[in-house]
Homo-oligomer: A and B are copies of this chain.
Amino acid sequence: MKPAISILGGDMRQSYLAQLLRDDGYLTVTWGLEGGGGDGGVPLDQALEGDLLLLPLPVCRNGMLHLPLSEAELEVERLWPRLRYDQLLLGGLTSELSPRLMADYGLTLLDYYTREDAQAANAVPTAEGALQLAMEASDRTIHGSRCLVIGCGRIGKLLAARLAALGAEVTVSARKYGDLAWIQAWGWHSVRTGALDGTLNRFHFIFNTVPALILDAARLREVREDCVILDLASAPGGVDMEEALRLSLRAASAPGLPGRTAPRAAAAAIRDSVYHILEERGELM
């Protein structure tokens, strides 16, 4: 029999996730998603009865369950004692919580977000969302422009491929020779991240994906005044935003991609990850 699924809190991704799971025939209830456009959800007591509990991404901030679409507030510490050891908990960015929950409450909390499959699936709408934001911010076309992607991780690779496909001249930076060889193998120009100085004024678009201060004040003074800069790295990011503001550059950090630009695709990435976890555990689906 298919497990009964409860979705507890989260943002628009969880709201879409509920719909996607129902489309696949799961009995799914929600709590804490009232502002997300679906039904009003069920009382918390009822939601806590599910076989599978889907927690937000991230599960909590400052000890509080992540509930941006709800008036409700809930300390996660109050949640755990109400759960049973035979329930399976899945959440996003759980590395700190997970061992403690097992030790203190005997609960199993797995992460649907940090797995490679989820990260890859999430990188697609992130890269496409970055493309959309870049188009919106610029009076140019990607076609015919010169683009720099700093960092050749998951998002960097997929973003570079899209920019090149739209007709940009694409340069990707990396630190290691292995990554530089891959950048060339994919057909892009490569540059060592340490050798960026003196090259930055070439670019019409700069996308940072590295979570370290790469575009500091000195480097920002090098870029073209009409350059569009997008920082895709997680906080605190890799762009000195204060200096960028001072220089009147079109720089923006783009947190919350792809939940913002393509929540349905982001939800589908979570859904697939959940299914893979269930399959690997031999759970019925």
Give the B-binding residues of A (Cβ under 8 A): 16, 115-121, 123-125, 128-129, 131-132, 135-136, 138-144, 158, 161-162, 165-167, 176-178, 180-182, 184-187, 258, 261-265, 272, 276
List 4 other contacts, CB 8 Å, given A120-B178, A141-B265, A177-B276: A119-B181, A121-B184, A121-B185, A158-B185
Copies of this chain, count: 4
Please judge, given known A-B contacts A162-B166, A165-B162, A166-B162, whether A262 and B181 are in contact too, CB under 8 Å: no
Q: How far apart are A79's CB and chain B's nearest CB, in angstroms?
A: 29
Contact partners of A185 in chain B: CB under 8 A: 120-121, 123-124, 143, 158
What separation, in Å, do the CA atoms of A135 and B132 have in the docked complex? 7
**Is A121 within 8 A of B262, CB to CB?**
no
What separation, in Å, do the CA atoms of A165 and B164 have in the docked complex? 9
**Is A178 within 8 A of B16, CB to CB?**
no
Contact partners of A180 in chain B: CB under 8 A: 117
Contact partners of A143 in chain B: CB under 8 A: 124-125, 128, 185, 187, 265
What separation, in Å, do the CA atoms of A178 and B178 have in the docked complex? 21
